[in-house]
Amino acid sequence: MNATMDDLDRLRGELLASVDQADSPDALEQVRVTALGKKGRITALMKTLGGLDPDARRDMGQRMNAVKDEIAAALTARKSVLDDAALTARLAAERVDVTLPVRPEKPGRIHPTSQTMDEMIAIFAEMGFEVAEGPDIEDDWHNFTALNIPPEHPARQMHDTFYLPDHDGAPMVLRTHTSPVQVRTMVQQKLPIRIVAPGRTYRSDYDMTHTPMFHQIEGLVIDESTHMGHLKGCLVEFCRAYFDIDDLPLRFRPSFFPFTEPSAEVDIGCSRKGGELKLGNYGDWLEILGCGMVHPRVLEMCGIDSSRYQGFAFGMGIERPAMLKYGIPDLRTFFEADLRWLKHYGFVPLAVPSPAFGLNG
Ligand code: PHE
């Protein structure tokens, strides 16, 4: 039986109506298959064209194609409406209510090492220092040689170094201090330089005050005029801000590091009376960091003209100041990943102390 114009009109009406009624992308796909698929209704109708005489076939064929195009256009338009609606619904369903308070049951804790690093960085940032970084796996040149510690230098023995297999012919180590970041910064950055570099350091050592992995923060200032007075002022300011003790006394004791000249170790005032450690002006001293004026030989090895540029460097542990400030007795506990310890000594997120809101949170 041949299709008539009426059949085509009816089919067009039905199909357009079902396109309009499709209320989901799946339902719409169903309509598409029913209308335009291989066994679809328009396709079936097209197959009846063969039985018409040539004039009627041309006429009917053109109309069928027009209907087919019209249905296809309607499907596309409906699809974009349904897709938009689906996206809007998803956005509404997945919306995050940012005004909700933090869930109190499980806030998690900030590890005292992270907390202390953040506090230290915040204080140095106020003084205009930027943060620099270097790799934990370091080559021997950055960790030792460029810092004026040549092979066979006795200072290498003091570092209890973890040695690694050579890489590209270069001896490799786990960095024993953050001082190689001084070298990397001087080689790479433009002058003047004012950076602090916090990070992990490694030495083969283990007891109540030593762990094979610990953290340090390095400082480096290089320009044409920075001198020992600036070094002292900067570290006095830092220690008083970090420990939150305005009149904390500091003692600069002459010392030796191959990469600084002159070198000093810094002690802070304390009391050990009755076995209890208290910070302040009590006549006793506690060593806290190493520092000095960057050795001209180090500047030269990093490609800096030592007749024009000079500056200071310092390096300090992160965990010891944390133990002192927050009363944590054993260094090893920092790295045992005991959740009970973290719950006791850790810090609540969003209650982070800062110079602006008070260091005691
Ligand atoms: N790198 C030294 C250490 O780990 C500390 C230090 C850094 C001393 C910078 C002087 C200057 O002991």
Q: What is the mean pLDDT of each run of 10 residues along the chain (361 residues)?
A: 78 92 91 90 85 86 90 93 91 87 72 96 97 97 96 81 93 96 98 98 90 97 98 98 96 97 97 91 96 98 98 97 92 93 88 55 43
Q: Quick one: 6 exposed, middle or buried, by C-beta within 10 A (0-12, 13-18, 19+)?
A: exposed
Ligand 1 centroid – CA 121 distance (Å): 18
Q: Is any atom of ligand 1 closer than 6 Å to the C-beta of 161?
A: no
Structure confidence at residue 298 (pLDDT)? 98
Confidence (pTM): 0.70
Ligand 1 centroid – CA 262 distance (Å): 12
Q: Is any atom of ligand 1 closer than 6 Å to the C-beta of 313?
A: yes
CA–CA distance from 95 to each of 84, 88, 107 (Å)? 16, 11, 21
Could you tell which of 138, 153, 179 is best to mutate to test the pocket of ligand 1, judged by most ligand atoms within 8 Å of the CB?
179
Q: Is any atom of ligand 1 closer than 6 Å to the C-beta of 314?
A: yes
Contact between 312 and 230 (Cβ < 8 Å): yes
The angle subtended at Cα 300 by Cα 294 and Cα 306, nearest 5°, is: 65
In degrees rounded to 5, what are phi and psi of residue 143? -75, -35
Q: Is any atom of ligand 1 closer than 6 Å to the C-beta of 257?
A: yes
Closest residue to atom 10 of ligand 1, CA basis: 291
Closest residue to atom 7 of ligand 1, CA basis: 315
- Distance, CA of 266 to CA of 284 (rounded, Å): 13
Ligand 1 centroid – CA 194 distance (Å): 16
Architecture of the domain delimited by 112-345: 2-Layer Sandwich (3.30)
Closest residue to atom 6 of ligand 1, CA basis: 315
Could you tell which of 175, 228, 259 is best to mutate to test the pocket of ligand 1, judged by most ligand atoms within 8 Å of the CB?
259
pLDDT tens string 238-270: 999 999 999 999 999 999 999 999 999 999 999
- Distance, CA of 319 to CA of 334 (rounded, Å): 8
| Cis status, amide bond into 355, omega within 30 of 0 | no
Residue extents of the structural domains in the chain: 2-93, 112-345
Q: Is any atom of ligand 1 closer than 6 Å to the C-beta of 159?
A: no
Structure confidence at residue 103 (pLDDT)? 65
Q: Quick one: 349 exposed, middle or buried, by C-beta within 10 A (0-12, 13-18, 19+)?
A: exposed
Closest residue to atom 9 of ligand 1, CA basis: 314
Atom of ligand 1 nearest to the CA of 316: 5
- Distance, CA of 214 to CA of 255 (rounded, Å): 23
Ligand 1 centroid – CA 224 distance (Å): 22
Q: Is any atom of ligand 1 closer than 6 Å to the C-beta of 179?
A: yes
Structure confidence at residue 105 (pLDDT)? 61
Q: Is any atom of ligand 1 closer than 6 Å to the C-beta of 177?
A: yes
Could you tell which of 147, 149, 177, 184 is best to mutate to test the pocket of ligand 1, judged by most ligand atoms within 8 Å of the CB?
177
Q: Is any atom of ligand 1 closer than 6 Å to the C-beta of 298?
A: no
Q: Is any atom of ligand 1 closer than 6 Å to the C-beta of 260?
A: yes
Say if strands 163-167 and 170-174 run parallel, antiparallel, or are unpaired.
antiparallel
Structure confidence at residue 352 (pLDDT)? 55
- Distance, CA of 347 to CA of 12 (rounded, Å): 69
